[in-house]
């Protein structure tokens, strides 16, 4: 896939070379959708298909998150295909030498007593005239593992849990012979972890990297979801933008609107309390003798900056006008 790169933020050559490196095996077949693509909002999928040139425009400075993620995946692949590293890790975790000897990386056949490990394997399956493809990170002895470099708050609020389950379920549907367990391990690597916050807050991740298990859908449930998404895609493919379904608040990573109550109208640097509803704020104001003021702050959306078609999306344009989208 040929991208059109821009450098409006004056990224240096050393950074540009690092950020623009991309060895992903893109599939340009018209009837192919990746597992990652399938879980995207239908509006984004359709607009990207209708406007391929727009979808391929990339600002170099916006590649940081994806490049870090790609580097972690590449590092995982290199580590697991190095027998010395695998043996050292198993020894550090208390396993004996026999455990290391039993591990076989990407085996064509699995013998009795062997522990299969599949790393960065690409799989695909045809359904309803579409090819669904995916490349999972790691399958260890039947358990799917995915590595996510993300913020601490994504973990605390579990805001990406639904997408993790969808993506993992599609991978299992694609590779039922290798992914035999009904859950996925998400291996979090936090990009903004703070040791001081870990000491102060019990609900804060205590380590910069940790693993959390999520239950996957059944094969039947997954296939039904895939068929429904493909049917929706086919139905809307030639639909004008103004008639496309809008992205939901969940898909937009939207925050709720807030009603900020200030007891002293002359001190607006910090609100007395942030309320979820206007009624809650009005009760506070009444209890304080009706002397304070209330300011309504619109909720914001976080996903749009990562969308390749945000520049032509009328929903995004409206949310910018409303103050909900900051680009």
Read off the pLDDT of residues 130-149 as tens digits, 9 standing for 90 and up: 999 999 999 999 999 999 99
Out of 184, 215, 241, a domain closes at 241
Residue 1 pLDDT greater than 80, yes or no: no
- Asked if residue 249 and residue 229 are part of one domain, the reply reads no
- Asked if residue 234 and residue 193 are part of one domain, the reply reads yes
11-39: buried (b, 16+ CB within 10 Å) or exposed (e) per residue?
A: beeeebeebeeeeeeeeeeeeebbbebbb
| Residue 46's CATH number | 3.90.320
Report angle CA 49, 51, 56 to the nearest 5 degrees: 90
Residue 239: other Cβ atoms inside 10 A: 13
- Tell me the mean pLDDT in the region 208-222: 98
- Asked if residue 119 and residue 188 are part of one domain, the reply reads yes
- Asked if residue 269 and residue 230 are part of one domain, the reply reads no
Listed residue (219, 216, 214) closest to 173, CA to CA: 219
CA distance 209 to 145: 14
CA distance 40 to 42: 6
Residue 196 pLDDT greater than 80, yes or no: yes
What pLDDT does residue 275 have?
A: 93
Q: Provide the whole-model pTM.
A: 0.88
Beta bridge partners of 125: 132
Residue 210 pLDDT greater than 90, yes or no: yes
Q: Is 11 among the domain residues?
A: yes
DSSP string, 159-211: TTHHHHHHHHHHHHHHTTTT--SSEEEEEEEESS--HHHHHH-TTS-SSSEEE
Helical residues (DSSP H) of the chain, grouped into ranges? 13-20, 35-38, 42-50, 52-55, 64-80, 83-92, 97-102, 152-157, 161-174, 195-200, 219-236, 278-287, 314-322
- Please identify which residue in the block is written with the tokens 């694609």: 174
Give residue 92's domain range: 4-241
Residue 20 pLDDT greater than 70, yes or no: yes
What pLDDT does residue 25 have?
A: 81
Q: Is 327 among the domain residues?
A: no
Residue 256 pLDDT greater than 90, yes or no: no
Residue 96 pLDDT greater than 90, yes or no: no
What pLDDT does residue 274 have?
A: 93
Collapsing DSSP to helix, strand or coil, 32 comes out as strand
What pLDDT does residue 297 have?
A: 85
Q: Nearest 5°: phi and psi at 8? A: -70, -20
What pLDDT does residue 100 have?
A: 86
- Tell me the mean pLDDT in the region 190-216: 96
Residue 244 pLDDT greater than 90, yes or no: yes
- Tell me the mean pLDDT in the region 275-297: 91
Q: Is 139 among the domain residues?
A: yes
Distance of alpha carbon 308 from the chain centroid:
15
pLDDT band at residue 24 under the 50/70/90 scheme: confident
Residue 51 pLDDT greater than 70, yes or no: yes
CA distance 156 to 95: 31
- Asked if residue 40 and residue 22 are part of one domain, the reply reads yes
- Tell me the mean pLDDT in the region 24-39: 91
State the average pLDDT for the chain. 94
What pLDDT does residue 55 have?
A: 83
Residue 174 pLDDT greater than 70, yes or no: yes
Q: Judge whether 18 and 271 are in contact, CB under 8 Å.
A: no
- Tell me the mean pLDDT in the region 12-28: 91
When divided into structural domains, the chain yields a total of 2
């Amino acid at each position: 896939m040929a991208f059109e790169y821009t450098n409006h933020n004056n990224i240096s050559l050393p950074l540009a070379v690092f950020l623009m490196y991309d060895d992903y095996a893109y599939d340009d077949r018209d009837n192919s959708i990746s597992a990652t693509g399938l879980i995207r909002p239908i509006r984004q999928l359709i607009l990207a298909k209708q406007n391929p040139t727009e979808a391929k425009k990339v600002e170099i400075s916006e590649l940081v998150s994806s490049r870090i993620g790609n580097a972690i995946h590449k590092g995982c692949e290199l580590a697991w295909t190095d027998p010395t590293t695998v043996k050292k890790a198993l020894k550090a975790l208390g396993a004996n030498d026999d455990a290391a000897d039993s591990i076989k990386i990407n085996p064509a056949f699995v013998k009795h007593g062997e522990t299969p490990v599949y790393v960065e394997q690409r799989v695909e399956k045809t359904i309803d005239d579409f090819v669904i493809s995916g490349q999972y990170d790691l399958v260890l002895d039947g358990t799917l593992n995915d590595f996510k470099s993300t913020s601490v708050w994504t973990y605390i609020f579990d805001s990406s849990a639904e997408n993790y389950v969808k993506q993992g379920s599609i991978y299992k549907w694609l590779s039922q012979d290798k992914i035999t367990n009904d859950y996925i391990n998400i291996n979090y690597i936090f990009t903004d972890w703070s040791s001081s916050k870990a000491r102060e807050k019990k609900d804060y991740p205590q380590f910069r990297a940790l693993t959390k298990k999520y239950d996957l859908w059944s094969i039947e449930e997954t296939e039904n979801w895939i068929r429904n998404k493909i049917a929706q895609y086919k139905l809307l493919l030639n639909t004008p933008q103004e008639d496309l379904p809008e992205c939901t608040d969940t898909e937009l990573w939207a925050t709720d609107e807030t009603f900020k109550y200030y007891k002293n109208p002359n001190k607006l640097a910090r609100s007395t309390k942030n309320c979820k509803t206007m009624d809650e704020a009005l009760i506070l104001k009444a209890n304080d003798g009706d002397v304070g003021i209330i300011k309504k702050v619109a909720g914001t959306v976080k996903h749009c900056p990562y969308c390749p078609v945000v520049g032509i999306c009328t929903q995004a344009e409206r949310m910018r006008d409303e103050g909900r989208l900051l680009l």
